[in-house]
Amino acid sequence: MAWDFETDGEYAERLGWADRFVREEVEPLDLVLGSPFDKSNPDTVRVLEHLRTKVKQQGLWACHLGPELGGQGFGQVKLALLNEILGRSSWAPSVFGSQAPDSGNAEILARFGTEEQKANYLYPLLDGRIASCYSMTEPQAGSDPALFTTSARRDGDDWVIDGEKWFQTNARYAAFFIVMALTDPDAGAHHGMSLFIVPAGTPGLEIVRHVGVGTEAAERGEHAYLRLANVRVRADDMLGDEGEAFAIAQTRLGGGRIHHAMRTIGMARQAFDMMCERAVSRRVRSGTLGDLQMTQERIADSWIEIEQFRLLVLRTAWLIDKHQDYRRVRGDISAVKVAMAKVAHDVVLRSLHLHGSIGISNEMPFSRMLVDAETMALADGPTEVHKQVLARQVLRHYTPSTTLFPAYHLPSREAAARRHLDGLLEHVVAQY
């Protein structure tokens, strides 16, 4: 019977190194440098190259990719444990070569890209020389492909793309965009969508405006409203085969949701640690905040919720490694997605509240954390959609009752039990 909650010793040591490295050398960068995606900033490039060299020496670079691409080919459990550490810092994923959306874009380029596409986009992306954007969601449709209106029509050896895309992460810094567009309206969303690689600067590709989150100024925002007007790309710029966009997107998103979840745990633990330090430090008339029963309840609730969620994520990662089929674990992944935002929100809000006025000020990170928590409720499909997915997956395992009363009807069960007992007694008496 295999049932183990321990990490093997060798990998535990590497995780210990990553924990110290992120705390001592990476987390400070969040406070003094801009975006790690900004390759135009020479300080950013130099710092990333220096730190990435150390990560590569430890064999922890781009661990989601196979050795042929310079990664480790780790399974989802190992990746989850590493991402739990990286979630404490906005810079850490870039330092370890696992930053979204580049990591997901690299994965689908590696799996579905041509040799030319890999040479032009994948390898520079892996080297950290460029950044990318995954262009899927739309203003009127959100993340529902069935409502997408961005389309691509064939014109000789080219495709011409028209439409609008909303909340495009990394558009400001991207060297190329992976754009989802409708190529066959009669085939439906699952088989009529295709992906195209569109280099930045392609005529007709316009950033209408940059978009921040929460109270972040637009000029600092790392998301964008895009317009594609008569954007012409070569037939060779299609990523994968025509009509494969939905299937490719699911491949990209499945593991990514687990990585987001463990990074969210890292953020929640930060908020929890702040809550606990505040509880033992802040004096009130009768002692400390930690002496108050209501504070103790909040700390206990937060600890339980984090640990429950962490086990759910790791179990789901284990199932992915076991089955190697995201479709079989679709419901579990949706459960992770649903729980992720709630746990993060609840823990962060409790910590903010315990800090009083300084908690809501811009001198503490809680406001940003709350926005991040809500972002997790919307990114990669809203929570409500994933609840539906989970419920449908669960209900598939149940058979409808065909009798007047359900099988769990107590009088019916009691009658069946009595018949069973009568038969058992007859058998026992016959033996004697």
Q: For every residue of 57-90, which 3-state class applies, written as one string?
A: HCCCCCCCCCHHHCCCCCCHHHHHHHHHHHCCCC
Strands 283-284 and 238-239: unpaired
Please tell me the predicted confidence (pLDDT) of residue 46.
92
Q: What's this model's pTM, rounded to 2 decimal places?
A: 0.88
Measured CA to CA, the distance from residue 408 to residue 412 in angstroms comes to 8
Percent helix, strand, coil in the chain, to 5, is 55, 15, 30
**CA–CA separation, 393 and 380 (whole Å):** 18
Predicted confidence at residue 254, as pLDDT, reads 65
Tokens 């669960």 belong to 394
- Three-state DSSP at 155 gives strand
**CA distance readout (Å), 346 to 36, 192, 302, 306, 393:** 28, 40, 8, 10, 27
Query: How many Å apart are CA 391 and CA 344, to the nearest integer?
Result: 22
CA distance 138 to 396: 32
| Blockwise average pLDDT, block size 10, the chain, 432 residues | 84 96 96 88 91 94 84 90 94 92 90 95 89 94 90 96 95 95 91 96 96 82 94 96 90 76 94 97 94 97 97 94 88 94 96 96 94 88 92 94 92 94 85 76
